[in-house]
């Protein structure tokens, strides 16, 4: 990788991107923060940097934290940071809010709780919001995790605000996903989306000093019983915590370690990485192909005519697409 | 369209698809039901039929109904069917459940309430669930609406089970979207996603005989005040109903008519159709291009090698995609 030093300067590529990458690989926080902002904004320079950083990634362990607003996810993240720091691990946090336009390092709402770690060099906290396109947030989060991973953070916590489909997509890129609940959700347990049940590796019932705790834990266990895993599969444990009082944190840390061991010993980690790579490749290919063709027909001044014909029902969108696909094959 | 009768039989295209289309345009329920099932299954024959049906669509008025489970959406849909039938309109209902694998005409949960209309020729009720790929459900719903529209149904109700991102995408294809709430949601109003607020044209507070009704209506109005529309824009009204007792249904019907008038008089309907066409075209193009290239590199036996290199960090997914895009340009 150091071969560039031997090249004649005149033949070298522009250094701008290289230096950003080098600075990030050297652990420079400010360079990483700026690149993550470029990722959010979809700037091409970010994509170039990611090419190099990707090949240096793959060492970090990624933990997703999702659950309804008010479940205490940030307090829980705060305690997990503390626990991992106690083990000497470096921890980065990506706090994702699909409903918020705020980003670029803004600390959202009660995430201020995590702020006490701000002076600790072994902790890095970054917020991401919807800058523009919603669908791109899960891809942007995945890219941000790649940056932090390449940078050498041992643990990356990805925290989301809600439990919608966006959050499912975001948390799906984590090795171990925690779904945080609060007691007394009542009917809401019924409303848990199939997707959430699929992504949860560990359920956390936080604020477990509240009266309805036993019922909520029982409801969750029943739900899990209805979806019994096959023999060698992981059954998500239900862990009780009171994050603000530190209760249950060490048990939660144990379960996280157990799940990690399971991923490693069962060969699921390898399969997980394969699936994640295939998905990321497919997303990028889809987006790239579309942009290429869309730009071309727009440049050829054909897009407006096609869309008008579709609106006027003179042309159907299926045939319009078929024709473009046939052009590409020529 | 009758020109085919004059052709030499040997020169005619296979009749299979044609006859399905003709039967649907003639109003045959069974043909439509089968095509909608083919759409869910993503069968190519459905796509061919949609080409013709699309150009015959564009007359129906589409109403979306979304809201949390238990809000009484099906009871409300039942009363709206009755009211539109009273005006002599033909009504089709597409009941969408992104969390359910059931489909193909199954009536889900309390949707049985709408069943009393089953013997009425002027009413057609169809359920759609997630057969396989989740992301495809909003596209499949859009296609199903095209079929029912071409068939001549005056009103198409699209009802969803929840308020997640899937539902937002599904309801976004409706001309007028109702978001149904129940009193006493408390903090849940805070948790209403930005997306939901954007798509709601009319808020319905159902079960409005409950004690917390005034507070819920006030909370909604406050929320709307914080997002004041500009002068010529529609401000979503908040309508109180008790669907089971028929209360508020005529007011709701008036508000639906008002919104329809607004769409027509403001020119928003035309813009809505333009945006919908552009979006559908983009989705189909993205999917078609991806499938074409993905199939090609899989057929050339290159996909596995690319994915392995990505997993092993020898190749990054961005460069992999760039290379494929460059091939396409040659």
pLDDT given at position B1? 37
Residue B286 has its nearest CB partner, among A69, A280, A286, at A286
The Cα diameter of chain B in Å comes to 72
- List of chain A residues whose C-beta atoms are within 8 Å of the C-beta of residue B56: 313
* Band (B7; pLDDT cuts 50, 70, 90): very low
pLDDT given at position A222? 84
Please state the rounded mean pLDDT for residues A124-128.
Answer: 86
> Is pLDDT above 90 for B160?
no
> Are B162 and A191 an interchain contact pair (Cβ–Cβ within 8 Å)?
yes
Other beta carbons within 10 Å of A134: 16
pLDDT given at position B4? 36
> Are B288 and A313 an interchain contact pair (Cβ–Cβ within 8 Å)?
no
- Least confident piece of the model among A244-258, B55-69, B120-134, B231-245: B120-134
pLDDT given at position B182? 85
- List of chain B residues whose C-beta atoms are within 8 Å of the C-beta of residue A164: 164-165, 193
CATH hierarchy code of domain B56-266:
3.40.50.300
* Band (B140; pLDDT cuts 50, 70, 90): confident
> Is pLDDT above 60 for B33?
yes
> Is pLDDT above 50 for A157?
yes
Other beta carbons within 10 Å of B116: 12
> From residue B133, how far is each of A59, B34, B137, B165 by CA, in Å?
31, 19, 7, 15
pLDDT given at position A164? 62
> Is pLDDT above 60 for B206?
yes
pLDDT given at position B3? 36
> Are B311 and A277 an interchain contact pair (Cβ–Cβ within 8 Å)?
yes
Please state the rounded mean pLDDT for residues B162-188.
Answer: 76
Nearest chain A Cα to B99, which residue? A194
B125 touches B114 (CB < 8 A)? yes
Nearest chain B Cα to A100, which residue? B194
Tell the burial category of B135 from Cβ atoms under 10 Å away from its Cβ (0-12, 13-18, 19+): middle
- List of chain A residues whose C-beta atoms are within 8 Å of the C-beta of residue B274: 307, 311
Please state the rounded mean pLDDT for residues A85-99.
Answer: 87
d(CA B165, CA A284): 21
Residue A274 has its nearest CB partner, among B55, B284, B311, at B311
As given in the structure block, the two tokens for residue A28 are: 């420079």
> Is pLDDT above 80 for B307?
yes
> Is pLDDT above 70 for A192?
no
> Is pLDDT above 90 for B189?
no
- Which of A195-199, B112-116, B167-171, B265-269 is predicted most confidently? B265-269
* Band (B98; pLDDT cuts 50, 70, 90): low
Higher pLDDT, A268 or A18: A268
> Are A307 and B47 an interchain contact pair (Cβ–Cβ within 8 Å)?
no
pLDDT given at position A106? 37
* Band (B74; pLDDT cuts 50, 70, 90): confident
What does the pLDDT look like over A288-320, one tens digit per residue? 899 889 899 988 899 999 999 999 999 999 999
> Are A316 and B166 an interchain contact pair (Cβ–Cβ within 8 Å)?
no
- Least confident piece of the model among A53-57, A69-73, A304-308: A69-73
> Are B69 and A274 an interchain contact pair (Cβ–Cβ within 8 Å)?
no
pLDDT given at position A71? 83
Residue A325 has its nearest CB partner, among B50, B278, B288, at B288
> Are A294 and B310 an interchain contact pair (Cβ–Cβ within 8 Å)?
no
* Band (B165; pLDDT cuts 50, 70, 90): low
- List of chain A residues whose C-beta atoms are within 8 Å of the C-beta of residue B324: 285, 288
pLDDT given at position B226? 78
- List of chain A residues whose C-beta atoms are within 8 Å of the C-beta of residue B57: 313
Tell the burial category of B91 from Cβ atoms under 10 Å away from its Cβ (0-12, 13-18, 19+): buried
From the options 3.40.50.2300, 3.40.50.1820, 3.40.50.300, 3.40.120.10, give the CATH code of A57-266: 3.40.50.300
- Least confident piece of the model among A137-141, A322-326, B90-94, B255-259: A137-141
Residue-averaged pLDDT of chain B: 82
pLDDT given at position B195? 58
pLDDT given at position A15? 47
Considering chain B, what percentage of its residues have pLDDT values greater than 70?
81
> Are A193 and B306 an interchain contact pair (Cβ–Cβ within 8 Å)?
no
pLDDT given at position A24? 95
Higher pLDDT, B66 or B12: B66
User: Interface pTM (ipTM) of the complex?
Assistant: 0.80
Looking at CA atoms only, how far is residue A290 from chain B in angstroms?
5
> Is pLDDT above 60 for A193?
no
Residue B293 has its nearest CB partner, among A194, A274, A285, at A285
What does the pLDDT look like over A208-259, one tens digit per residue? 999 889 988 988 888 888 777 777 889 999 999 999 999 999 999 999 999 9
Handedness of CA A309, A311, A316, A322 (dihedral sign): positive
Interface mutation target, options A165, A268, A308, chain B, most CBs of B under 10 Å = A165
Residue A51 has its nearest CB partner, among B195, B270, B319, at B319
Residue B290 has its nearest CB partner, among A70, A289, A317, at A289
> Is pLDDT above 60 for A49?
yes
> Is pLDDT above 70 for A266?
yes
pLDDT given at position A320? 94
d(CA A107, CA A128): 9
Interface mutation target, options B167, B317, B322, B325, chain A, most CBs of A under 10 Å = B317
- Which of A33-37, A117-121, B251-255, B269-273 is predicted most confidently? B251-255
As given in the structure block, the two tokens for residue A6 are: 């031997």
> From residue A90, how far is each of A122, A204, A269, B172, B271 by CA, in Å?
5, 23, 21, 43, 51
| SS3 of chain A | CHHHHHCCHHHCCCHHHHHHHHHHHCCCHHHHHHHHHHHHCCCHHHHHHHHHHHHCCCCCEEEEEECCCCCCHHHHHHHHHHHHHHCCCCEEEEEEECCCCCCCCCCCHHHHHHHHHCCCCCEEEEEEECCCCCCCHHHHHHHHHHHHHHHCCCEEEEEECCCCHHHHHHHCCCCEEEEEECCCCHHHHCCCCHHHHHHCCEEEECCCCCCCHHHHHHHHHHHHHHCCCCCCCCCCCEEECEHHHCECHHHHHHHHHHHHHHHHHHCHHHHHHHHHHHHHHHHHHHHHHHHHHHHHHHHCCCHHHHHHHHHCCCCCHHHHHHHHHHHHHC
Per-domain boundaries in chain A: 57-266, 279-329
What does the pLDDT look like over A12-26, one tens digit per residue? 444 445 589 999 999
The Cα diameter of chain A in Å comes to 72
> Are A290 and B285 an interchain contact pair (Cβ–Cβ within 8 Å)?
yes
Residue B307 has its nearest CB partner, among A281, A307, A310, at A281
- List of chain B residues whose C-beta atoms are within 8 Å of the C-beta of residue A129: none
pLDDT given at position A195? 58
> Are A194 and B99 an interchain contact pair (Cβ–Cβ within 8 Å)?
yes
Nearest chain A Cα to B323, which residue? A285
**SS3 call for B237:** coil
> Are B322 and A190 an interchain contact pair (Cβ–Cβ within 8 Å)?
no
> Are A311 and B99 an interchain contact pair (Cβ–Cβ within 8 Å)?
no
Considering chain B, what percentage of its residues have pLDDT values greater than 90?
48
> Is pLDDT above 60 for B6?
no
> Are A288 and B325 an interchain contact pair (Cβ–Cβ within 8 Å)?
yes
Residue-averaged pLDDT of chain A: 82
Estimate to the nearest angstrom the gap between the alpha carbon of A236 and the chain centroid: 20
> Is pLDDT above 80 for B112?
no
Residue B281 has its nearest CB partner, among A284, A307, A328, at A307
- Nearest residue to B239 (alpha-carbon basis) of B282, B176, B153: B176
> Is pLDDT above 90 for A69?
no
Handedness of CA A163, A164, A168, A171 (dihedral sign): negative
């Amino acid at each position: 990788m150091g071969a560039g030093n031997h090249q004649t300067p005149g033949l070298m590529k522009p250094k701008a991107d290289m230096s950003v990458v080098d600075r990030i690989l050297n652990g420079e926080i400010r360079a990483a923060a700026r690149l993550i902002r470029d990722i959010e904004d979809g700037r091409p320079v970010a994509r170039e940097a990611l090419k190099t950083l990707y090949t240096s990634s793959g060492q970090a362990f990624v933990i997703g934290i999702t659950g309804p607003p008010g479940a205490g996810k940030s307090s829980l993240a705060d305690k997990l940071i503390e626990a991992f720091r106690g083990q000497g691990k470096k921890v980065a946090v990506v706090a994702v809010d699909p409903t918020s336009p705020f980003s670029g390092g803004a600390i959202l709402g009660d995430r201020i709780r995590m702020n006490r770690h701000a002076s600790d060099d072994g902790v890095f906290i970054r917020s991401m919001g919807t800058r523009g396109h919603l669908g791109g947030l899960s891809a942007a989060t995945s890219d941000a995790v790649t940056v932090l991973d390449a940078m050498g953070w041992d643990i990356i916590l990805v925290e989301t605000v809600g439990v919608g489909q966006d959050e499912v997509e975001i948390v799906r890129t984590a090795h171990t996903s925690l779904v945080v609940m609060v007691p007394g959700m009542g009917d809401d347990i019924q409303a848990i989306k199939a997707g959430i049940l699929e992504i949860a590796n560990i359920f956390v019932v936080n604020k477990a000093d509240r009266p309805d705790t036993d019922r909520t834990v029982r409801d969750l266990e029943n739900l899990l019983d209805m979806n019994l895993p096959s023999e060698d599969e992981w059954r998500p444990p239900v862990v009780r915590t009171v994050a603000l009082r530190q209760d249950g944190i060490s048990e939660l840390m144990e379960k996280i370690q157990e799940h990690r061991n399971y991923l490693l010993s069962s060969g699921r980690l390898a399969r997980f990485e394969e699936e994640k790579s295939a998905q990321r490749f497919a997303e990028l290919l889809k987006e790239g192909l579309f942009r290429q063709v869309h730009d071309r027909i727009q440049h050829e001044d054909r897009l407006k005519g096609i869309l008008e014909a579709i609106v006027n029902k003179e042309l159907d969108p299926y045939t319009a697409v078929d024709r473009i696909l046939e052009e590409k094959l020529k």
